[in-house]
Amino acid sequence: MSSLAINGAAEVLRPREDGLPYMRSAEFTVAPGSVLIDGDRIAGFEGSADGDLTIDAAGCAVVPGFVDCHTHLPFAGWREREYAMKIAGESYEAIARAGGGIRSSARALAEASDSDVLEQSFRLAWEMLRHGTTTFECKSGYGLSVDGELRALRLAHALTAPQTTTVTALLAHAVPDGFDRASWMEQVAAMVPTVRGLASALDIYVESIAFSNDDLAAMGSLAHEYGLDLRAHVEQFNANGSVPVAVAAGARSVDHLACVDAAGIDALAGSETAAVVLPGAEFLGDERVAPARELLDAGAICALGTDLNPGTSPVASLPVIIGLAVRRYRWSVVEALLACTLNAAWVLRLSDELGSLEAGKRADVLVLDGPVERIAYRFGHNPVAAVIVGGAVVYVRADFEERVSR
């Protein structure tokens, strides 16, 4: 263990009040300052010349490490041909019904070796790290069989990277061949006792081409019975009235929400179920834009994710997602930063440990190459100059190395 002093930053993003598990509005201060790290913990906010390592952060912003609360790692291969089909006018539903979409990724996963899947996922994890992601969620969902789903969960546990990871069992992603919804949900129920040791949450996709609100309620009952969180992909392409069902089932989050209605917004504003919006999928799929400004103004706990997956959002960069959120949702940069730090950590049940710069919390910290407003303004530029995970400097951009002194 060693000490690290990040000195003289132009901006340090800190919550106005320590100890909050989440925020319904972006109650941050952005002011000049320093951050002192001792071992793997944030020790204070004074400058020091005596650390084992020092970083000259003049002109820079210091923010919490980004938390990506919605990815589909690990997966195999890519689906760029489907993207070309979408550009030519084919809908996601039509591609899926023709055997593409989730089924295409399931075939790729089944045909790939474990080492190939892990190698691709490891490379993506490092790409995410270079863009500031210090914690991310993994999901199954491309198994489409009992053995395939359990394999995907084991691969998620085998994915070693510098980041903190959590695992979600997306057991109801698509109806596998040879099953209908009811018979596959029977298989899901039989899997959950085994899954309990491999995942911290269950997930389900509710849509015309996937599962129903009744299935969502059943998944909620399974999650409650086995002490797992419930998460749900809902209201992506159609308004299915799924949000009140998920909230009533005690869901930790509902994700996508492009078509959420007023009743759904009200339900989220009055609950601790997080609204996870995914602007990468909306942009690349030319989907409806989620009413994220309305969700935030209503008082919902809003979070952002990349939705990193081989089909609808092959995006690994949370700075890109922040830029999309600011432009398309009319969020401020600070609101977007809340959504991929503290609130995203809340989704993963990690906000008591990370997601904000507070003394005693895990020292997952980013040094950016300019003020926070520039993240969205310089869209597509990677602003991350240095990444600290658990107090260790794990990445320094080449042009920033001279600012790090031992």
User: What confidence tier does 92 reach under pLDDT thresholds 50, 70, 90?
Assistant: confident
| pLDDT (tens digit per residue) in 305-320 | 999 999 999 999 999 9
* 106 and 148 part of one domain: yes
Query: Residue 367 is part of a domain; what is its CATH number?
Result: 2.30.40.10
CB 241 within 8 A of CB 261: yes
**188 in a structural domain:** yes
Please indicate, yes or no, whether the overall pTM of this predicted structure exceeds 0.95: yes
**106 in a structural domain:** yes
Instruction: Work out the number of other CB atoms within 10 angstroms of the CB of residue 199.
Output: 25
Number of domains in the chain: 2
| pLDDT (tens digit per residue) in 132-163 | 999 999 999 999 999 999 999 999 999 989 99
Tokens for 317?
């960069």
Predicted pLDDT of residue 266? 98
Would you call 151 helix, strand, or coil by DSSP? helix
What's the domain range around 44? Answer: 3-64+357-405
**323 in a structural domain:** yes
Taking CA atoms, 202 is separated from 39, 212, 305, in Å, by 34, 15, 17
Q: Which range is least confidently modeled, 7-21, 41-55, 254-268?
A: 41-55
Instruction: Work out the number of other CB atoms within 10 angstroms of the CB of residue 98.
Output: 13
Task: Tell me how far apart the terminal alpha carbons of the chain are, to the nearest angstrom.
Answer: 14
* 164 and 312 part of one domain: yes
- Going by C-beta distance under 8 Å and a sequence separation of 6 or more, which residues neighbour residue 321? 279, 280, 304, 305, 306, 315, 340
**217 in a structural domain:** yes
* 236 and 382 part of one domain: no
- Which of 300, 318, 347 delimits the end of a domain? 347
- Which of 327, 347, 367 delimits the end of a domain? 347
* 170 and 304 part of one domain: yes
Query: Residue 107 is part of a domain; what is its CATH number?
Result: 3.20.20.140
Residues 233-254: what's their mean pLDDT? 97
pLDDT above 60 for 405: yes
* 276 and 372 part of one domain: no
* 49 and 76 part of one domain: no
* 251 and 133 part of one domain: yes
**352 in a structural domain:** no
Predicted pLDDT of residue 126? 98
pLDDT above 70 for 1: no
Tokens for 220?
């909620």
**309 in a structural domain:** yes
pLDDT above 70 for 332: yes
Taking the C-alpha atoms of residue 211 and residue 188, their distance in angstroms, rounded to an integer, is: 12
**107 in a structural domain:** yes
* 43 and 73 part of one domain: no
Taking the C-alpha atoms of residue 36 and residue 351, their distance in angstroms, rounded to an integer, is: 20
**295 in a structural domain:** yes
| pLDDT (tens digit per residue) in 341-366 | 999 999 999 999 999 999 999 999 99
* 257 and 378 part of one domain: no
* 227 and 291 part of one domain: yes
Residues 84-94: what's their mean pLDDT? 87
Tokens for 131?
């863009």
- β partners of residue 392: 389
Percent of the residues in the chain that have a pLDDT greater than 70, as a whole number: 100
* 189 and 48 part of one domain: no
Q: What is the CA radius of gyration of the chain?
A: 21
Would you call 244 helix, strand, or coil by DSSP? helix
* 400 and 310 part of one domain: no
- Which of 347, 377, 396 delimits the end of a domain? 347
Average pLDDT, the chain: 96
